[in-house]
Amino acid sequence: MAAVEQLTEEERTTWLRALPKWSLARDGAAIERKFEFADFAEAFSFMTRVAIMAEKRDHHPEWFNVYNRVEITLTTHDAGGLSLRDVNMAKKIDALV
């Protein structure tokens, strides 16, 4: 796969404005968002939809689930930090909820 470029600090700031529900994590190397659903079935349904999308895009979330809560962290391992792939994925995830 072609190398994926890490976002510069300026690009990070700009892109994050378009993702108000996500915050920078790991010293700018990742973004994260917490989700809360009615129950486990709703949370897992959401996770299933994210998983299918992740496979299609070959870009996979780091996540944590307890009952109705899901926490998602996006980072690009191939870039060693945040890339446009994370920003695009976050937008797609936002559109699912």
Ligand X SMILES: C[C@H](O)[C@H](O)[C@H]1CNC2=NC(N)=NC(=O)C2=N1
User: How many chain residues bind ligand X (CB under 6 A)?
Assistant: 8
* C-beta of residue 91 within 8 angstroms of C-beta of residue 74: no
Q: Which is nearer to ligand X, 6 or 76 (CB)?
A: 76
10 Å CB burial of residue 89 (0-12, 13-18, 19+) is: buried
**Residues paired with residue 73 on neighbouring β-strands, in sequence order:** 32, 62
Q: Which is nearer to ligand X, 28 or 68 (CB)?
A: 28
- Provide the residue type at 39 as one letter: D
Q: Which stretch in 7-15, 31-39, 44-52, 53-61 sits in contact with ligand X by CB under 6 A?
A: 53-61
The answer to the question of residue 9 lying near ligand X (CB under 6 A) is no
| Interacting residues toward ligand X by CB under 6 A | 1, 58-60, 75-78
